[in-house]
């Protein structure tokens, strides 16, 4: 009996380490900090950077992508252009060359027969970066560099076509001289004055019945845009690669 009891005690003692090894290990839970929690969240936005501020009055050279004429254009028609030179601030490019600019035609004045020059007014409404990031803007036409026929009128960004006085004088002269020559031949020189007068009347009538020249801006024409108010550009969104 004593021997059986001793064997039972020995068996129980020898089983204790094995039982302890089979127990699951419990690891204490550590609560992550707020910073670690934000870093672990998928899709978390990159912290925003201060926007680039482009002040009002900044002039941006543009190149038109389509032709515009007061003869065929209508109010509300879209205007498409691209920046012809980068805009730089603090030795960094904030608006790269080739950025798309979209606008619209606001006003058209058709040229008159005797008085009234053709006028065109357009405004620029958005700046579109290569990746699609868009900045709304109020931009007006400041000038049309390189144009010999159009000039700016007033302070509202109106493009006005130059007058046609020289052309009208040429038209009258072109009809007066042949008329005088025909009159001289017909009456031995006495009819020269009559022929000249008749030719002048024809030339004047032609001028009175003909409209003045239209504003013509062909594809590739240079237009200078000026910002009418300050705009802000998100550097992170503007620099993202296009999908």
Q: What is the pTM of this model?
A: 0.61
Residues of the chain with pLDDT under 70: 1-47, 112-115, 149, 154-156, 163-211, 243
Check residue 218 and give its pLDDT: 93
What is the CATH topology of the domain spanning 52-163+214-239? Lipocalin (2.40.128)
Check residue 152 and give its pLDDT. 75
Q: Where are the alpha helices (DSSP H) in 26-145?
A: 34-40
Element (H, E) at 109: strand 100-109
Domain boundaries, the chain: 52-163+214-239, 165-208
Instruction: Say if CB 230 and CB 53 are below 8 A apart.
Output: yes
For the record, the structure tokens of 123 come out as: 């405004």
E-assigned strand segments in 34-99: 52-54, 59-64, 68-69, 78-83, 87-89, 92-95
pLDDT score for 6 = 59
* Model pLDDT, residue 151: 75
List the helix and strand counts (H, then E) for the chain: 5, 14
CB 192, CB 184: distance < 8 Å: yes
pLDDT at residue 210, rounded to an integer: 46
């Amino acid at each position: 009996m004593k021997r059986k009891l001793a064997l039972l005690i020995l068996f129980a003692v020898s089983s204790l380490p094995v039982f302890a090894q089979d127990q699951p290990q419990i690891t204490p839970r550590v609560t992550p900090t707020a910073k670690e929690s934000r870093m672990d969240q998928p899709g978390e936005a990159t912290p925003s950077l201060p926007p680039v501020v482009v002040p009002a009055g900044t002039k941006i050279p543009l190149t038109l992508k389509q032709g515009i004429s007061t003869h065929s254009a209508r109010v509300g028609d879209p205007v498409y252009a691209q920046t012809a030179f980068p805009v730089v601030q603090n030795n960094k490019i904030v608006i790269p060359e080739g950025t798309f600019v979209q606008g619209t035609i606001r006003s058209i004045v058709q040229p008159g027969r005797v008085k009234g020059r053709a006028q065109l007014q357009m405004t620029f409404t958005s700046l579109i970066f290569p990746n699609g990031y868009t900045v709304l803007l109020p931009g007006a036409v400041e000038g049309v560099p390189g144009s010999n026929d159009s000039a700016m009128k007033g302070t509202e960004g109106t493009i006005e076509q130059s007058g046609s006085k020289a052309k009208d004088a040429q038209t009258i002269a072109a009809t007066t001289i042949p008329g005088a020559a025909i009159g001289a031949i017909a009456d031995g020189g006495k009819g020269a004055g009559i022929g000249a007068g008749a030719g002048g009347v024809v030339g004047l009538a032609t001028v009175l019945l003909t409209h003045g020249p239209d504003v013509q801006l062909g594809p590739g024409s240079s237009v200078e845009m000026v910002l009418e108010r300050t705009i802000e550009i998100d550097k992170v969104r503007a620099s993202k690669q296009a999908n």
